[in-house]
Each structure stands twice: as structure tokens, then as C-alpha cells.
Amino acid sequence: MWKEVKDRELGRIRPAFLANRVQSRRIRSLELANQKEIVSAHKGAVNSLQIDLTEGRYLLSGASDGSAAVYDIQQATDDGAGLVAKHKSLFVVDKRLEYGHQYAVSSVLWYPVDTGLFVTGSFDHYIKVWDTNTTQVEMQFKMSGKVYGTAMSSISTTHMLIAAGTEDVQVRLCDIASGAFTHTLSGHRGTDSRLRLWDVESGCNTLVNYESTRIRTNKATQLAVTPNSSLVFVPCLTAIQAYDVWSGRLCSTFHGHYDFINCCSFNPQDQELYSGGNDRQILIWSPPAVVSLEEVLVSVHNAIYTRESI
């Protein structure tokens, strides 16, 4: 580490390289947080999680009781007298609302460029687009079966499409701008409980062997990947396993949930991992709270570099 700091001082390596090395070390030292807690608002299994892509501040969750909730993960609602910072939900939308989901919420996601909208998919065959400020449904799509997953492109500037995976093994594209379906994609043939890495250019399996993955086949599982694509976090029954993306080597295993884990979401700003499971809990996995000297040095060097660049 000290050699890298010296190389940074002499300009032999770029500031981003040193920052990435420290971030990688922090990620690989994740442990169950003991100074921060999410107070779950759900009365059923937590099925899906996502941290907003614009501020990295708001956590969105969906659960089997038909509810979705939003949490501020930076500003605690209760500091616990200085011991544990507790984060309670800012609001909950559930089946008590006129247009709430009547069955399990299987998928949640933020509108990629704005926290003013979020999307939920449910086993009641509906995808709903919500206004965050009013907690009202602005638009909904009636699907042909249970909704298992939803996704939106974080980089698109020409469309507002939601890709939805349903129980009829087809992917349908829903257009928020027009309120209509645009395409139907077919090709899936079932499940084999395996994790695979695909080359998007060739469309081929890279044949990376992820050691001893045990993914449930009777329920959708949400993975999380670090921003530099070095690690993938995989819910495997009652544990989370972290794999090296390119080699498939098992790097770490995290235990903390008391029942099957369904989802996880990674926060690149704080290098924190969030997980949800059938025990109705949302757990936080954080780097050690003690700040090391090397991290202080990196922060100082980056601040100096930023000031010199202005």
C-alpha cells in the first residue's frame, strides 16, 4: 500500500487506480453492520431491493405482503442514542391503497434518472409506475401472468421501456411514454440453478465455473455486482456468496439471515451491500467502521489532486 501511495505522489499511477484499490479492499472486508440498521416495514418476505442510481441515498424494497417501501439510508430516523443508527421507512405503499398490489411484490426498481418515479411488479399480474411524491399510481400494465422481474436501462436516452419477465417465460417491453407494449421477446426454456457469465457481443457462454452455487429454482433471485465488475454477490439459500466474476472463485460467504435470502443490492458510494430474505429483514453489510491510515491518505491525495485540477 505504501508503495502505491509513493507512486501516486510521483505521478506513476493515476488517482483513480489508488482509489479503486482501496475500494476493492473495503468491499472484500464486508461484515454485518453493527452501527446501522434498517427497520423493515414489511410483514412478508423481502423479495427485491434497489438503491437509486442518481443519489445513492434511497433504498426501495418490495415484499410478499404486497407492499413496497422507501428508506433514506444516509439520514437515520433514529440515532439510537449514538449506538445504532436506525433507518425507518419514509413511506409504504400496500394493498390498503386503492390501486395497491393485491399479491406479492416480486420486483422493484427506481426510474434510472430521477427518484420521482419507481416501478413495482407483482404476482397480481400488474406492473405499476408510482409517483414518489404523491405515492399514487401514475400508470399500470396488465401482464399475462405473474411478474417475476423488471428492469430498465440506466443509460438509454431515447426510450422509457420497462422489460418484464413473467411466468409465461416471455419478456415484454412496456413503454412508459405511450402506456403500450412494444415488443415480446421469447427464448427461455426453464431453469437449471446455475450462474453463468455471458459475452454480450457474441452471445456465447464464457464457461466460467462459479464454484458450488446453490440458487433456488422456485423463486426469482436478485444478484448484485460491484461497479468495477470484479465481484458478484449471489443469494444461495441462507447465505450470500461473493464470487470473482472472471474466475468464478468463491471469495467470501456472508451469514446473518435466519431464512432463505431472495435479493441483494450494492451501494457503490459507501461500498455497502443490502440483502433481504424470507425472515422479513433487510440487512446491511458494511466495511469495518474503523478508518485505516491508508484510507485517510487516499482521501487527502484525492482532495489535493482535485484541487490541483480545478
pTM of the model: 0.84
CA atoms within 13 A on the CB side of 185: 10
pLDDT tens for each residue of 111-121: 998 899 999 99
For residue 179, is pLDDT > 60? yes
pLDDT tens for each residue of 29-56: 889 998 899 999 999 999 999 999 899 9
Angle in degrees, 0-180, between the axes of helices 293-309 and 15-27, rounded to the nearest 10: 150
Contacts (Cβ under 8 Å, ≥6 apart) of 245: 197, 208, 225, 229, 230, 231, 232
pLDDT in the model for residue 109: 96
**How many other C-beta atoms lie within 10 A of the C-beta of residue 257?**
23
Cell numbers placing 257: 439471515
For residue 221, is pLDDT > 70? yes
Most confident stretch, 99-113, 176-190, 227-241: 99-113
